[in-house]
């Protein structure tokens, strides 16, 4: 493609070659990144699951965040979407829009972060594009996963009376962000910051989801908002108990010190846990499976479609919206 005279696309190709080509070595369909496209087949009993998430410096991460953390976040938010669809990771493509003055050190650390997560999650680079920009670092990943035909987990397939479960713990990431922003003085800040910087895609939950889940999605916008998405597409309302929402030790300590942080935890987002629904008759088998999941509520055909009611310890509805406390 035509570049302005200053763009030095020959030099750019050289840097991309050096740092990104090695990441494609493990996926034959990448064709070594020598061609215009990647080429691969999939087994006839499988479907492809394809998801894309983009991150912009100053919007989704801080410009001086460590490049390896940015790489981890970029890959993992996409892997979380694959997990939420009950898919296994296959490969990913990467688009980098980088300022021309970005240093080799940044690129090397970014590529090293990708390489580490490729190994951790068994995924490989298979293509993409690298362009220069006069704006902020802009990154996007399209992740490809495989799922047995007909077994992709959807949002709109929950049933009336299904129980609501969530994996792991909720609220750590948003409190970690508050700490980084200087807005929260937490007693135990490190695990919170780590959860914000390094989401943990729940790929280990995929067999459990395939066996038990009737619908689900990952918690990126916030537990209440994402459960509301599920309810809206499935055509139900949900009620959850705030006391049953699993909190980490660090988040529980923060909420004990400042109870208003409970609403922050339930609505903050960036958790990358999976919220999903299960038929009541499968409850015991799911709990006996040993999966790290917690029952937090139930769907109902009553109530306005797409609404989530959060009950406090006394059984009263908390004045909570998808964005936090309601202030009258």
**Interface with a second copy (CB under 8 A):** 1-4, 7, 31, 34-42, 44, 46-56, 58-60, 77, 81-82, 84-85, 87, 93, 95, 97, 126-129, 131-136, 138, 140, 142, 145, 147, 149, 152, 154-156, 173-174, 177, 217-218, 220-221, 233, 268-270
Distance CA 291, CA 60 (A): 31
The minimum distance between CB 95 and a second copy, in angstroms, equals 5
The minimum distance between CB 268 and a second copy, in angstroms, equals 7
Rank residues 60 and 283 by Cβ distance to a second copy and give the closer one.
60
The minimum distance between CB 241 and a second copy, in angstroms, equals 25
Query: Would you say 35 is a known binding-site residue?
Result: no
Query: Would you say 124 is a known binding-site residue?
Result: no
Q: Any idea of the CA torsion for 159, 163, 169, 174, to the nearest 10 degrees?
A: 50
Neighbours of 210 (CB within 10 A): 15
What is the H or E stretch that residue 125 is in? strand 124-132
Q: What are phi and psi of 276, to 5 degrees?
A: -150, 165
The minimum distance between CB 175 and a second copy, in angstroms, equals 12
Rank residues 157 and 241 by Cβ distance to a second copy and give the closer one.
157
Query: Would you say 58 is a known binding-site residue?
Result: no
Query: Would you say 60 is a known binding-site residue?
Result: yes
271, 170 contact by CB (below 8 A): yes
Rank residues 36 and 302 by Cβ distance to a second copy and give the closer one.
36
Name the 3-class secondary structure at 96.
strand
Residue 240: partners with Cβ closer than 8 Å, 6 or more residues away = 164, 223, 227, 296, 297, 308, 309, 310, 311
314, 245 contact by CB (below 8 A): no
Rank residues 87 and 109 by Cβ distance to a second copy and give the closer one.
87
The minimum distance between CB 217 and a second copy, in angstroms, equals 6
Query: Would you say 128 is a known binding-site residue?
Result: yes
Looking at 152-236, which runs of residues are DSSP E strands? 163-167, 213-218
Name the 3-class secondary structure at 322.
coil
Rank residues 42 and 160 by Cβ distance to a second copy and give the closer one.
42
Query: Would you say 270 is a known binding-site residue?
Result: yes
Point out the annotated binding site for substrate.
60, 270, 325
Point out the annotated binding site for Mg(2+).
36, 51-53, 81, 129, 218, 221
């Amino acid at each position: 493609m035509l570049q302005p005279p200053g763009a030095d696309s020959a030099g750019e190709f050289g840097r991309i070659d050096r740092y990104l080509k090695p990441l494609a070595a493990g996926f034959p369909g990448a064709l070594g990144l020598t061609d215009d496209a990647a080429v691969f087949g999939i087994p006839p009993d499988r479907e492809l699951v394809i998801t894309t998430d983009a991150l912009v410096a100053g919007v989704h991460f801080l410009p001086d965040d460590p490049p390896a953390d940015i790489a981890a976040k970029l890959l993992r938010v996409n892997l979380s979407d694959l997990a939420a669809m009950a898919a296994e990771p296959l490969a990913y493509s990467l688009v980098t829009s980088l300022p021309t003055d970005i240093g080799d050190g940044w690129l090397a650390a970014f590529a090293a972060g990708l390489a580490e997560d490729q190994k951790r999650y068994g995924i490989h680079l298979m293509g993409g594009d690298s362009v220069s920009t006069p704006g902020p670092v802009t990154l996007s990943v399209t992740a490809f996963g495989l799922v047995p035909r007909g077994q992709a987990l959807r949002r709109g397939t929950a049933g009336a009376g299904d129980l609501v479960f969530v994996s792991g713990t909720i609220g750590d990431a948003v409190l970690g962000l508050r700490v980084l922003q200087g807005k929260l003085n937490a007693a135990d800040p490190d695990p919170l910051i780590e959860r914000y910087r390094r989401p943990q895609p729940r790929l280990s939950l995929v067999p459990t989801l395939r066996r038990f889940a009737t619908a689900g999605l990952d918690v990126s916008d916030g537990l209440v908002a994402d459960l509301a998405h599920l309810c809206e597409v499935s055509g139900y309302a949900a009620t959850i108990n705030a006391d049953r929402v699993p909190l980490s030790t660090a988040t529980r300590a923060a909420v004990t010190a400042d109870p208003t942080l409970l609403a922050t935890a339930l609505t903050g987002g960036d958790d990358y846990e999976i919220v999903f629904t299960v038929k009541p008759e499968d409850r015991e088998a799911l709990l006996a499976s040993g999966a790290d999941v917690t029952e937090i509520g139930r769907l109902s055909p009553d109530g306005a479609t797409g609404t989530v009611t959060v009950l406090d310890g006394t059984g009263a509805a908390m004045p909570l919206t998808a964005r936090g406390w309601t202030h009258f």
